[in-house]
C-alpha cells in the first residue's frame, strides 16, 4: 500500500512539474482558444461601437466636432461607424478576417492620428489598441474556430 501511494505521489509530482515547466516555457498555452476568445471580444467591442450608427443623437454629436464640419463630415462619420459594425460582425464570425483587419486598421489609424492627434500612450489610446489587435489578426489569421478556416482551408 505504501509503495502504491509513493508511486502515485511521484506521478502526480511529475505531472505538476511538467505543467509548471510548460507554463514558464516559450510554448503557446491554449493558443487556439485564447486567440478565438480575443477575436470574439474585439469583434463584440467593434459591433458595440459600430451600432452607434443607429443612434442619431450620437451621430449628431460627432457631426458637431470641428473635424467633421466640412462637406464630407457626414460621409466620414457614417463610413467609419459602418466599417466598425461590419468589421465587428466579420471578426465574430471569423470570415474575411484579413479584410476586416484592413478596414479596422484604416479607420482606427484615422481616429488615432487625425482625430486623436497621434496621442497613443494615454487619453486616446483605445483606437490605437484596436490597430495593434487588427495587425495581430492580419498576420496570424482568424484561428481554427472560424468560418475562414472552414471555407478556405484547402487540405486534401
Number of domains in the chain: 1
Find the domain containing 122 and state its range: 35-149
Is there a domain that residue 48 lies in? yes
Is there a domain that residue 42 lies in? yes
pLDDT at 3: 64
pLDDT at 132: 95
Alpha-carbon distance values, 101 to 35, 64, 94, 107, 131 (Å): 15, 28, 11, 10, 8
Alpha-carbon distance values, 135 to 40, 127, 148 (Å): 15, 13, 17
Is there a domain that residue 109 lies in? yes
As a whole number of Å, the CA-based R_g of the chain is 22
pLDDT at 83: 97
Is there a domain that residue 6 lies in? no
pTM equals 0.82
HSE-up of 114 (CA within 13 Å, CB side)?
A: 11
Which grid coordinates are listed for 129?
489598441
Report DSSP letters for the chain, one per residue. Answer: -HHHHHHHHHHHHHHHHHHHHHHHSSS-SSHHHHHHHHHHHHHHHHHHHHGGGG-HHHHHHHHTSGGG-STTHHHHHHHHHHHHHHHHHHHHHTSSHHHHHHHHHHHHHHIIIIISTT--SSTT-HHHHHHHHHHHHHHH-S-SSSHHHHHH----
**156: exposed, middle or buried (Cβ count in 10 Å: 0-12, 13-18, 19+):** exposed
pLDDT at 10: 63
Per-residue pLDDT of the chain (156 residues; tens, 9 = 90+): 666 556 655 666 666 677 777 778 788 888 889 999 999 999 999 999 999 999 999 999 999 998 898 889 899 999 999 999 999 999 999 999 999 999 999 999 999 998 888 777 777 688 999 999 999 999 999 989 999 999 988 665
Is there a domain that residue 20 lies in? no
pLDDT at 2: 63
Is there a domain that residue 52 lies in? yes
List, as own/partner pairs, every contact residues 71-77 make where C-beta atoms lie below 8 angstroms and the sequence separation is at least 24, other chains included.
Answer: none
pLDDT at 9: 59
Is there a domain that residue 27 lies in? no
Amino acid at each position: 500500500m505504501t509503495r502504491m501511494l509513493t508511486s502515485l505521489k511521484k506521478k502526480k509530482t511529475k505531472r505538476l512539474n511538467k505543467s509548471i515547466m510548460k507554463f514558464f516555457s516559450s510554448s503557446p498555452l491554449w493558443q487556439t482558444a485564447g486567440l478565438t476568445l480575443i477575436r470574439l471580444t474585439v469583434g463584440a467591442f467593434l459591433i458595440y461601437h459600430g451600432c452607434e450608427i443607429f443612434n442619431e443623437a450620437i451621430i449628431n454629436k460627432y457631426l458637431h466636432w470641428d473635424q467633421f464640419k466640412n462637406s464630407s463630415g457626414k460621409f466620414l462619420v457614417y463610413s467609419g461607424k459602418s466599417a466598425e459594425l461590419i468589421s465587428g460582425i466579420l471578426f465574430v464570425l471569423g470570415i474575411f478576417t484579413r479584410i476586416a483587419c484592413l478596414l479596422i486598421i484604416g479607420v482606427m489609424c484615422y481616429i488615432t492620428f487625425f482625430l486623436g492627434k497621434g496621442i497613443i500612450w494615454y487619453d486616446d489610446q483605445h483606437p490605437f489598441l484596436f490597430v495593434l489587435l487588427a495587425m495581430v489578426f492580419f498576420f496570424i489569421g482568424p484561428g481554427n474556430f472560424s468560418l475562414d478556416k472552414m471555407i478556405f482551408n484547402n487540405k486534401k
